[in-house]
Amino acid sequence: GRRALCVPRSQLGPPGVSPGSGGAPAGASGRPFRTAAPFGNDFFRQLGLGLERMVQTLKEQLPASPGGWGSWTPPGGPPGPRPPEEADVVVVGGGIVGWSVAFWLKALEKRRHGMKVLVVERDPTYSRSSMALSVGGIQQQFSLPEKIHMSRYSASFLRNINVATEPPIDIEFQPSGYLFLAAPEGAARLEATVQLQRNEGVRVALLSPTQLKEKFPWMETKDVALASYGLEDEGWFNPWALLNAFRRKAMSLGVHSCTGEVQSFVTTAEEITPLHGPPRLSACIKCVHVRMPDSREYQPVTCAVVVNAAGAWAGELLEAAGVPEQMCQPPLPIQPRKRFVFSWHCPDGPGFSCPFLIDTTGAYFRRDGIAGNYLGGMSPPEEEELDSSDLSVDPKFFQEQLQPLLAGRVPAFQLLQPLRAWAGYCDYNSFDQNPVVGLHPRLDNLYVVAGFNGHGLQHAPAAGKAVAELMVKGQYETVDLHRLSWRRLVEGEALEEAGVV
């Protein structure tokens, strides 16, 4: 069974006690030793001014961190743990996917402490994390069998996350079916997708406009031809609770972590001749350079395997110095895409039975508690993609684009009151909007697990275990993700997914 998800706290002695003194305070008389006269106020004022000038000079000399990977902090802040000089596996990215990989690597190892795993995260506040800014949904209604299998496994994992003999974990799961609406031109496709989902074991119902109106009388259904409604293992939960659970459990199993940015790699390459086929160039990463967040200093970490779980910046990571350009072909087409999430209040809106609704227009919403609050958003068309250079929120997007669609579907939303809004990034795969999972075709010790297009939170338990199985056992056992590998990028064969929210 799984062990308790906790890390022992440090044991701190009382103030004024010297380490190793057995509890005796410094000085024979119980008073601290004084060896000089106290300084005057002028001394401290001049010292403070000098330190301020020194800090400002250092800040001006340090380069800006590219891509928003953290920022320089003045001396005196709490230093994070330094990375070790060597590790068996370096996981780049301490989001939900990265910590899932780290947890499963340790859970699957054959010998306790047999594998040294390091997780490197540049943003310990998760201010730009896709997970932290999501609405926390989990759905079964996909059109790719691999995504259905991941969702089914993740739902089972979340349902059984608590063990009777261990402290409870509350992920605040709220069961609620996803409701996909289809216009007349999309009805046949939705029906075919539901048949595929049922073949994979998903419990989902098809609703006619009449049935839809009977079940959800608050909804306008004139333009709806068909709807699919999930009956099991769908809803939403607290992303932070799951992240902390994975992190604490992984660290209790011996996973190391540090705050820093992987800036470059040290690689080696040689030509090999396989038994079948022409000679090819084989390369591997021997060392990663982790830059500390408060200095120019970096720590080299010798490693055997690297896992790219950098989320929206997974593509950028492979452009780091030290990787031969020919080894990066084809490029990893994963990039950050900005998405808005809006919160509003509507006391006369849908009640407790409100589903996670995905409109024919692509707009979506769900309830947020039971007091008339809601969360929702919408992905813009490709030609109107949002500026991803910062996380500012454009209120006009809600007023001019989203609210009219919401009010058209739920008339009560005509009187909604906006509450707040935020923006976050999703790890968008511009090739086919599906994740890339598995071993790199040219870098023989680099694994990638990224590009979930906003579904990384719900698929993290399954994807993390799948990658760990591939690394430890040499094959997928729980969920077969071969079709999500790099091969489709090399061969130009995109996978199509219809259930994108």
Residues 393, 396, 397: CA angle, nearest 5 degrees: 70
What does the pLDDT look like over 119-144, one tens digit per residue? 999 998 898 888 877 899 999 999 99
Exposed (0-12), middle (13-18) or buried (19+): which is 364, by Cβ within 10 Å?
buried
pLDDT of 54 reads 53
* Mean pLDDT calculated for residue range 398-425: 96
Instruction: Of 213, 157, 93, give the one whose Cα is nearest residue 465.
Output: 157
Mean pLDDT over each residue of the chain, to the nearest integer: 86
Q: How far apart are CA 213 and CA 179, in angstroms?
A: 13
pLDDT > 70 in the chain, percent: 84
Instruction: Of 234, 237, 285, 294, give the one whose Cα is nearest residue 261.
Output: 294
Rg (CA), the chain: 26
DSSP labels for 181-193?
EE-GGGHHHHHHH
* Mean pLDDT calculated for residue range 212-216: 97
The beta strand positions in 146-260, using DSSP E, are 174-175, 178-182, 204-207, 226-230, 235-236, 256-259
Q: How far apart are CA 145 and CA 137, in angstroms?
A: 19
3-state helix, strand, coil split of the chain in percent (to 5) is 30, 25, 45
What does the pLDDT look like over 476-500, one tens digit per residue? 999 999 999 999 999 999 999 877 7
pLDDT classification of 287: cutoffs 50, 70, 90: very high
Q: Which domains does the chain have, with CATH numbers?
A: 80-177+236-333+430-500 (3.50.50.60)
Whether 441 contacts 424, CB under 8 Å: no
Instruction: Kindly tell me the number of DSSP H helices and DSSP E strands found in the chain.
Output: 11, 19
Instruction: Of 308, 332, 309, 313, give the one whose Cα is nearest residue 388.
Output: 313
Q: How far apart are CA 405 and CA 384, in angstroms?
A: 17
pLDDT classification of 244: cutoffs 50, 70, 90: very high
